[in-house]
Amino acid sequence: MRYIHLFVCCLALIPLHAAEVGIVEDFALAEDREAVLAQLVPGSVEHSFYRCLLLQQRGELDAVDELLARWQREHGDSPRCEEIRARQLLLRTGGDRDAALDAIADHLDLQPLHGTRSGERERDLPSRLDQQRIAWPAFKNLAKLVYKRGSSFALDGFSDAGVLRLVTESDFGERSRVLERLPLADHPQLLGLVIADLADRHTPDFGTRPIHAGLTRTQLATIAERRPQSLENERFVHAMIRRLAPPAPAVAERDPDVRRAWLDRLATFATTLPQTHDALKAHILYHRLANDLRHGVHRAEHLLAYLAIPRRVTYARKRWLQRHRHRAVALDAAFTDATGLPPIGDDSALVREYLLH
């Protein structure tokens, strides 16, 4: 309760007078505070208040009493007078905190409210929570128990921070539920968790977990390295292609160097893809040829890489198309969601241009 007394007194000692901000700053920062007082009208409330403050700072407490009595006779009692009286009480205790609190409590007529009622028996009640009941293992075991009872919301009691902590604990056993709740993809153990999840035969394909959309280009490349079969998955491949795009796609339209580097990255990635993605590879290689042609560049190796993909075109030999009929791709396939580039359509004009060159 003593601290409450002190708090009440502190509030009484800090009145707000917006009009006096200037004099407060001058008085507080001045080396010669007598010069600041000379700017005030002698006998005014402001002059009396700051004169009392100066006398208190000098330790002349009896002089403050005389000035305070004259101040009250001339201007009456006020919150400023009360503040000076409270300061007098504090200063006269000589640094004795208990004596200061008692004096101020008597002055303000404060009554303690924390005492026991008359005749009430003291009770030995706990003052701390049982740490074993509110510790992390207790909450985690409770979530496990809920799941075992058949609930499909075993992680509802965990915050995002709690879910991140579960990632580090392999004994939780509900990998899929943790992945469904992870807020970000920057956890150091996330990648191993995702790879293990994809290896589970009961896990749906890539792209079904919300966290898959937040994986970085480096993380996807690591998944492809550890699980080459991921490159068979269309959603995985498209996600990787989107990560290869320039940070500002609009720049690729204006800057030929940026666009060429981007298409080269796509073409390099396309070389790692299996035959199931031949339509996408043709799409990428065609747009690289078209970009080269736009800038007057003719690369024979790029043309040969494109022509090596069986395509349903009118200028191809029928015997060749028949031999590769199971692999031949249609040129109207759209991959706008992945690359942002239009379908090929008819490539005869581009191929003719290269062959003539």
Return per-residue pLDDT of the chain as tens, 357 residues. Answer: 444 444 344 444 444 444 455 777 788 888 888 888 888 888 888 889 999 998 999 889 999 899 989 998 898 888 889 888 888 888 887 767 777 777 777 777 777 656 555 556 667 777 888 888 888 888 777 766 665 555 545 666 677 777 777 776 655 456 667 777 776 777 777 888 888 888 877 777 888 888 888 898 999 999 999 999 999 999 999 999 999 988 877 777 788 899 999 999 999 999 999 999 999 999 999 999 999 999 999 999 999 999 999 988 888 888 888 888 888 888 888 998 899 899 999 999 999 999 999
- Bridge partners for 329 per DSSP: 311
Q: Is 309 left (phi over 0), alpha (psi -120 to 50) or beta?
A: beta
- Round to whole Å and give the CA distance between 255 and 246: 11
Q: Note the pLDDT of residue 4.
A: 40
Contact 89, 103 (CB under 8 A): yes
DSSP label of 41: P
Give the closest residue to 71 by CA, choosing from 41, 49, 40. 49
Kindly write down the DSSP assignment for every residue of 161-216, as one continuous string: HHHHHHHT-TTS--HHHHHHH---S--TTHHHHHHHHHHSTTSPPTTSSGGGGG--
Q: Note the pLDDT of residue 173.
A: 54
Residues 6+ apart with CB under 8 A from 171: none
Token representation of residue 226: 């550890």
Q: Note the pLDDT of residue 95.
A: 66
Burial class (CB in 10 A: 0-12, 13-18, 19+), 160: exposed
- Round to whole Å and give the CA distance between 353 and 266: 23
Residues 6+ apart with CB under 8 A from 165: 136
- Sole residue written with tokens 């007598």: 34
- Sole residue written with tokens 């979530």: 143
Q: Note the pLDDT of residue 18.
A: 42
Rg of the Cα atoms in the chain:
41
Contact 292, 353 (CB under 8 A): no
Q: Note the pLDDT of residue 104.
A: 75
- Bridge partners for 311 per DSSP: 329
Q: Note the pLDDT of residue 93.
A: 76
Token representation of residue 284: 């990428």
Q: Note the pLDDT of residue 213.
A: 86
- Cα four-point dihedral sign 19, 24, 25, 26: positive
- Round to whole Å and give the CA distance between 68 and 80: 10
Residues 6+ apart with CB under 8 A from 295: 256, 260
Compute how many other C-beta atoms are within 10 angstroms of the C-beta atom of residue 206. 22
Q: Which helix (H) or strand (E) holds 321?
A: helix 318-323
- Round to whole Å and give the CA distance between 194 and 179: 8
Contact 154, 174 (CB under 8 A): yes
- Round to whole Å and give the CA distance between 105 and 2: 9
Contact 5, 105 (CB under 8 A): yes
Contact 319, 265 (CB under 8 A): no
- Sole residue written with tokens 């002055």: 107
- Sole residue written with tokens 């000035």: 67
What's the whole-model pTM score? 0.57
Can you tell me whether residue 311 is helix, strand or coil?
A: strand
The b/e string for 129-148 (b: 16+ C-beta within 10 A; e otherwise) is: eeeeeeeeeeebeebeebbe
